[in-house]
A and B are shown apart, each in its own frame.
Chain A
């Protein structure tokens, strides 16, 4: 085993270098600096593989594999939770949102921190006291173990696969955008690296990779923010610089369009610090907020982290650490995002990635001296490598959560009726890991070019509508039983997915084609204006016209592409011409539905055992009596 793992680790380590050569395309990093990027990537990956190698020797039992033997401290776990949470979506995504939308992007970050209040207050400690390896352990405790394990595992697998797909596609696009490695190759490299961590190092390696990555991420952000402050001043001066910045003012003018005509530069800049540039549908925002605040507590890879600490007190400590790190990080993000808006500018950021995801890496490059400097490219490479490590580590945590649901809940719990030796359990866990890893790679490749941003929202929607009501009710409501859990899991999951399938998140070819046609029709008139400007002989007008021409050409190409792409398609995936349900985030409806299903299911189903077990269950979750025993098993 040991010799075997060495060979594989060496092969995995060499992979990024071997496969990178023939598959370059254009990326954010200029060709002559690519060696530097690979050097930095190589060093960070080598560090994580070294940790995996050390960890591999410590993984012997199922408990080692799933929960690092319960031997992680509160502080370590706090960093690992922060690492799990500060995925590429929140690190790159929120900095990007702030850089192109200002205040609304910052407002968006708040929900991600408040989410941990729910985890801290009602989930972390009881789950540590009751559970062993998985979410379904908690559900199965006083209910019919087989029925609840099946629905629990299915929901965990659903949430993990949604989240996983978003991460895999995001990772592939990120690497492609930054250094121009082919998408498919990126996805395969992310998948194989992740498999290396999980397969050999289990939860021990996954935890330490998360810790290393979180420390690197926070360090990089602090350095960048200090550089931003050095140039633009601290809080008050910084904001004064933001509103006075020509690029920021230009961006606001661009967003507001005609409404901006009578506004002064300062007014435009100030508008960047006011709400409403991005979010136009408050109900949708509240709905998303609900999914974040209740969904985080139901995310299987976050929940699983609380089984890695020895006691409820350590679980509590880990959430406190995580909240400190995550909150501090989002405060830094405000300066990263607005710093990028000034230093790089929204047009430059959106030219590389329309969603703004490259704001932080581009800011790093600009602060280091720009695209032609050694330091600038080193800093870009460092931030990019950290983002890459982030994706691999988050994917590792998700695969571990899904694999534990398959191996521990479905195989050992349901098929083998809880009877399996340690060796069998670890083998089952490893086989399930390879299976989930392979599925992740295949889905990642299949989903190339798809818009997967809504999949993260969908993962949160299912977690908040199915997992959260079931866990909360079984922990705190005596009458809750098997009927409630099964009904809650099914209704919550189906409601969340069903509502998204008929929501504006899906692609509606008819509407896209209509928009494309309108754009093409309007292009003729716009072309006439541009032609007139070009012929006017006025240099300033001609300059503007040239920019307008480039934008118009792009819009026309896109419209033509859309018409061609949806030539034979009139309806969305589920056969709709337009959305049936106007909210992009279903939480507002699906969370209450999930709770209702748990309550009705429990009341309609008679389950004496669930009530008889209540005293034991409730005393244990509150006091932690016998909790240490659960980890030893």
Chain B
């Protein structure tokens, strides 16, 4: 397989690629916004909602500590969810890789 005998334009226009592109873009955007947004709630909460962060939940454990710990869970959760969904994207891409040299050519 060399670059010369691949019709990139045709692959880009292929409905399967367009489908992959749309699904992946929407998914990544959503996940980025959730993950980054959730992260910034921590410094914002610590600075502007200090009283809520200080509320004790169990013994010395307060909302702030639980929230900081939840950041780890959310980060790992996002990563795990991404890895699951990415496998589907891999499969969609696999079909395109297999046919890469055929798409857009008479055969």
- Asked if A273 and B64 sit within 8 Å, CB to CB, the answer is yes
- Asked if A623 and B96 sit within 8 Å, CB to CB, the answer is yes
By a CB distance below 8 angstroms, the chain B residues around A236 are: 58-61
A24–B86 Cα distance when bound, in Å, is 55
- Asked if B58 and A324 sit within 8 Å, CB to CB, the answer is no
Expressed in whole angstroms, the minimum distance between the Cβ of A532 and any Cβ of chain B is 39
By a CB distance below 8 angstroms, the chain B residues around A313 are: 90
By a CB distance below 8 angstroms, the chain A residues around B64 are: 103, 273-275
By a CB distance below 8 angstroms, the chain B residues around A615 are: 8-9, 11-12
Query: Given that A114-B39, A293-B39, A623-B97 are known contacts, is A273 also in contact with B75, CB under 8 Å in the complex?
Result: no
- Asked if B90 and A282 sit within 8 Å, CB to CB, the answer is no
Q: Would you call A451 an interface residue if the criterion is a C-beta within 8 Å of the partner chain's C-beta atoms?
A: no
Q: Would you call A5 an interface residue if the criterion is a C-beta within 8 Å of the partner chain's C-beta atoms?
A: no
By a CB distance below 8 angstroms, the chain B residues around A629 are: 1-2
A568–B60 Cα distance when bound, in Å, is 52
Q: Would you call A139 an interface residue if the criterion is a C-beta within 8 Å of the partner chain's C-beta atoms?
A: no
Mark the stretch among A32-40, A52-60, A116-124 that contacts chain B: A116-124
By a CB distance below 8 angstroms, the chain B residues around A618 are: 12, 21
Expressed in whole angstroms, the minimum distance between the Cβ of B24 and any Cβ of chain A is 7
Expressed in whole angstroms, the minimum distance between the Cβ of B45 and any Cβ of chain A is 8
Interface residues of B in 23-60 (CB under 8 A from A): 24, 28, 31-32, 35-36, 39-40, 42-44, 46-48, 50, 53-54, 56, 58-60
By a CB distance below 8 angstroms, the chain B residues around A511 are: none
Q: Would you call B88 an interface residue if the criterion is a C-beta within 8 Å of the partner chain's C-beta atoms?
A: no
Q: Would you call A175 an interface residue if the criterion is a C-beta within 8 Å of the partner chain's C-beta atoms?
A: no
Give how many A-B residue pairs fall within 8 Å (CB-CB): 159
Interface residues of B in 1-27 (CB under 8 A from A): 1-3, 6, 8-9, 11-12, 17, 20-21, 24
Residue of A nearest to B31 (CB): A121
A243 touches which of B32, B53, B60 (Cβ 8 Å): B60
- Asked if A107 and B46 sit within 8 Å, CB to CB, the answer is yes
B83 touches which of A122, A320, A331 (Cβ 8 Å): A320
Query: Given that A320-B79, A625-B96 are known contacts, is A275 also in contact with B39, CB under 8 Å in the complex?
Result: no
Expressed in whole angstroms, the minimum distance between the Cβ of B23 and any Cβ of chain A is 11
- Asked if B59 and A239 sit within 8 Å, CB to CB, the answer is yes
Interface residues of A in 501-538 (CB under 8 A from B): none
By a CB distance below 8 angstroms, the chain B residues around A319 are: 79
Interface residues on A, range: 35 or more
Query: Given that A323-B76, A626-B1 are known contacts, is A286 also in contact with B32, CB under 8 Å in the complex?
Result: no
Expressed in whole angstroms, the minimum distance between the Cβ of B54 and any Cβ of chain A is 5
Chain B interface mostly: helix
- Asked if A111 and B39 sit within 8 Å, CB to CB, the answer is yes
- Asked if B43 and A622 sit within 8 Å, CB to CB, the answer is no
By a CB distance below 8 angstroms, the chain B residues around A116 are: 75, 79
Q: Would you call A276 an interface residue if the criterion is a C-beta within 8 Å of the partner chain's C-beta atoms?
A: yes
- Asked if A316 and B39 sit within 8 Å, CB to CB, the answer is no
- Asked if A289 and B43 sit within 8 Å, CB to CB, the answer is yes
- Asked if A622 and B72 sit within 8 Å, CB to CB, the answer is no
- Asked if B65 and A103 sit within 8 Å, CB to CB, the answer is yes
Query: Given that A114-B36, A122-B28, A239-B59 are known contacts, is A616 also in contact with B8, CB under 8 Å in the complex?
Result: yes
Residue of B nearest to A620 (CB): B8
Q: Mark B74-93, 1 if CB is under 8 A from A, else 0.
A: 01101110110010001001
Q: Would you call A240 an interface residue if the criterion is a C-beta within 8 Å of the partner chain's C-beta atoms?
A: yes
A573–B80 Cα distance when bound, in Å, is 47
A111–B39 Cα distance when bound, in Å, is 7
- Asked if A117 and B83 sit within 8 Å, CB to CB, the answer is no
Residue of A nearest to B24 (CB): A622
Query: Given that A619-B8, A625-B1 are known contacts, is A324 also in contact with B60, CB under 8 Å in the complex?
Result: no
B43 touches which of A243, A286, A320 (Cβ 8 Å): A286
Q: Which residues of A contact B (CB under 8 A)?
A: 103-104, 106-107, 110-111, 113-114, 116-118, 120-122, 125, 235-236, 239-240, 242-243, 269-270, 273-276, 279, 282, 285-286, 289, 293, 313, 316, 319-320, 323-324, 327, 330-331, 614-616, 618-620, 622-626, 629
Given contacts A121-B32, A331-B72, A615-B9, 11 further A-B contacts (CB under 8 A): A113-B75, A116-B75, A125-B86, A239-B65, A270-B62, A276-B50, A282-B44, A282-B47, A618-B12, A622-B20, A624-B97
Identify 28 residue pairs between A and B in the complex whose beta-carbon atoms are under 8 Å apart, listed by A's number: A107-B43, A107-B46, A113-B72, A114-B36, A116-B79, A117-B39, A117-B78, A120-B79, A236-B58, A236-B61, A243-B60, A270-B60, A273-B60, A274-B64, A282-B44, A285-B46, A286-B40, A286-B43, A289-B43, A323-B75, A614-B12, A615-B12, A616-B6, A618-B12, A619-B96, A623-B93, A624-B93, A629-B2
Q: Which residues of B contact A (CB under 8 A)?
A: 1-3, 6, 8-9, 11-12, 17, 20-21, 24, 28, 31-32, 35-36, 39-40, 42-44, 46-48, 50, 53-54, 56, 58-62, 64-65, 68-69, 71-72, 75-76, 78-80, 82-83, 86, 90, 93, 96-97, 100
Q: In the A-B complex, list the 8 residue pairs whose CB atoms are closest, starting with the nearest.
A: A282-B47, A275-B46, A616-B8, A615-B12, A615-B8, A623-B93, A239-B60, A285-B43
